[in-house]
Amino acid sequence: MMPGNLTYDQLKNQVSSGLVDTVLVCLVDMQGRLMGKRFHAQNFIDSSYAETHCCNYLLATDLEMATPEGYASSGWSQGYGDFVMKPDLETLRPVPWLDGTVMVLCDVLDHRTHQAVPHSPRQVLKRQIERLREKGFELKAATELEFFIFEKSFDQIRKGGFRDLEPISGYNQDYHIFQTSKEENIMRPLRNHLFNAGIPVECSKGEAERGQEELNIRYDAALRCADHHTIAKHAAKEIAWQQGHAISFLPKWDQHMVGSAAHVHQSLWQAEKPVFYDPNAEYGMSALIRQYLAGLIKYAPDYMLFLAPNINSYKRFTSGSFAPTKAVWSIDNRTAGFRLCAEGTSAVRVECRIGGSDINPYLAIATQLAAGMKGIEERLECPLPAMGDVYTIKDAPALPITLRDAVDALSASDMLKEALGEEVVLHYIRAGEVEQEAFNKVVTDWEIARGFERS
């Protein structure tokens, strides 16, 4: 039996026996990272299990933890006040790769009203789950997470100016057992520690590049899927650091290599039965999955920013790279933006192949769910599946190819403003603008080498 989450009573017993002395109290930030505090375990069970506080800039910052202007929710003019971090005790779990440590994830509440902060990533997903529940359905989802392992440590790479990066292996290791055996000092503890933390890891495998791995976690209810994805990314970095290596989830760190994705599998269920399956229909596809898939396709530009949130995200989308460039679906075809998996069986589902390894899973799943629900509400007709090499289909609807295009598409999305709330959409539009503005100021090595002498 796989270990599950801790109960509060189990935690109290472990603290009193001396097995646990530290509780990581974490929220998920806009970038999908864990932020929070380390509590002495006795203090946590005495009082802080109810709530603690943090600065509200944590949901209005960028990758560098800067404090950019332009957010309505917090800023210098408002003095950067507090949020309440409310531990979700159902997420209590051991952290086996850190001695004497457990973790809990928090919901983020307004300090004055104690109402959920609407742009908090967990709350964004919770709102869509509730909208779906009102229709009588539950979303189950799973993610495939790709990343690169490097020879050097994070500190060595940073001190070297992020130059001369060398992956841990010397050749393409896709499905390669011998090559990935050399990486088991990282991957074996990652799989086992996550499993012992109550995260249902299925497997890891070598991916299609030097030093590239993929981690697969079993499908679960949407919120737990996002929780598992986020904790797995955090664990991967910490465990690699413990072994003297670096792991990167940058979608495209070398122009000559393929990028790293985060594919999202999804299906709707009702009374614990999959409703995407119809044994009497073509490919086993029910009317519901066809409408849901049509919504994903129609509104893909609207939620592109949540699948590709950073400047670097868009470097993945090139022909022949296994990163899709067209908003079409196909049957078991890895060149399409959406792949129908397990056709003709009760496991039939949609795989979105667009997102990069830098997604915030709460936002990526929430916005896809909103698009799929809209497809059901509008009873959209599902287009015919694309065939062959989708990269070569000239009239297929293209996805936004730059961050600026994605921000513009989100700005024009009435669907997401209705589903998420306009204030939430404006918050993440500003996040995209901040990323673009930061990049616009930078003179890159490419520009200097290209034009220094020849301009």
Three-state secondary structure string covering 12-75: HHHHHCCCCCEEEEEEECCCCCEEEEEEEHHHHHHHHCCCEEEEHHHHCCCCCCCCCCCCCCCC
Helix (H) or strand (E) holding 409: helix 403-411
Q: How far apart are CA 329 and CA 351, in angstroms?
A: 9
Task: Tell me, yes or no, whether 321 lies in a domain.
Answer: yes
Q: Which of 117, 142, 170 is where one domain is finished?
A: 117
Compute CA 450 distance to the chain's CA centroid, rounded to the nearest angstrom: 35
Two tokens at 131?
């909208």
> Around Cβ 397, how many Cβ atoms within 10 Å?
14
Res 3: pLDDT: 61
**Residue 420 and residue 305 share a domain:** yes
Q: How far is CA 156 from the centre of its chain?
A: 27
| Burial per residue of 268-294, b for 16 or more beta-carbon CB atoms within 10 angstroms, e otherwise | beeeeebbbbbeeeebbbbebbbbbbb
CA atoms of 6 and 197, how far apart (whole Å): 9
104 and 135 together in one domain: no
- Contact between 117 and 60 under an 8 Å Cβ cutoff? The reply is no
DSSP structure string for 266-309: EEEEETTEESSB-TTSGGGB-HHHHHHHHHHHHTTTTTHHHHS-
Residue 1 has pLDDT above 90, yes or no: no
pLDDT surpassing 60 at residue 28: yes
- Lowest-pLDDT range of 96-100, 128-132, 167-171, 409-413: 167-171
Three-point CA angle 386, 391, 394, nearest 5°: 80
The answer to whether residues 104 and 190 belong to one domain is: no
Nearest to 264 by CA among 363, 381, 175, 377: 363
Instruction: Report the domain count for the chain.
Output: 2
- Domain containing 52 — which CATH number? 3.10.20.70
Find how far residue 356's CA is from the centre of its chain.
Answer: 8
pLDDT digits (tens, 9 = 90+) for 402-418: 999 999 999 999 999 99
Select from 8, 51, 6, 54 the least CA-distant residue to 34. Answer: 54
Q: What is the pLDDT of residues 287-326, one digit of tens each?
A: 999 999 999 999 999 999 999 999 999 999 988 888 898 9
Of 117, 146, 163, the domain-final residue? 117
Find the angle CA(408)-CA(410)-CA(415) to the nearest 5 degrees: 140
4 — pLDDT class (breaks 50, 70, 90):
low
- What is the Cα–Cα distance from 117 to 83, expressed in whole angstroms? 8
Decide which of 117, 149, 175 is a domain's last residue: 117
Question: Token digits for 160?
Answer: 């070297």
Are residues 277 and 147 located together in one domain of the fold?
yes
Query: Residue 330: which CATH number?
Result: 3.30.590.10
Kindly state whether residue 92 falls inside one of the protein's structural domains: yes
Residue 385 in tokens:
């599946």
Query: Distance of CA 24 to CAs 36, 41, 157, 177, Å?
Result: 7, 9, 27, 35
Tell me the pLDDT of the chain averaged across its residues. 95
When computed from its CA atoms, the radius of gyration of the chain, rounded to whole angstroms, is 22
List the single range of 124-128, 319-323, 380-384 with lowest mean pLDDT: 319-323
Indicate if 73 and 202 belong to the same structural domain: no
Continuous H helices in 197-286: 222-242
Q: Which range, of 2-11, 38-47, 76-85, 157-166, averages the lowest pLDDT?
A: 2-11
- Structural domain including 196 reads 128-439
Residue type, 227: D
One domain for residues 181 and 304: yes
Q: What is the C-alpha to C-alpha distance for residues 358 and 354, in angstroms, rounded to an integer? A: 12
pTM confidence score:
0.96
Looking at the fold, whether 320 and 226 belong to one and the same domain comes out as: yes
Tokens at residue 367, please?
């916005």
Report, as an integer, the average pLDDT of 139-163. 97
Higher pLDDT, 333 or 203: 203
CA distances from 277 to 85, 91, 290, 374 (A): 40, 31, 10, 19
Report d(CA 247, CA 110) in Å as an integer. 35
pLDDT > 90 in the chain, percent: 90
pLDDT of residue 319: 84
Looking at the chain, how many residues does it have? 455
> How far apart are alpha carbons 57 and 427 in whole angstroms?
13
Residue 105 and residue 202 in one domain: no
As a whole number of angstroms, the distance between CA 224 and CA 362 comes to: 10
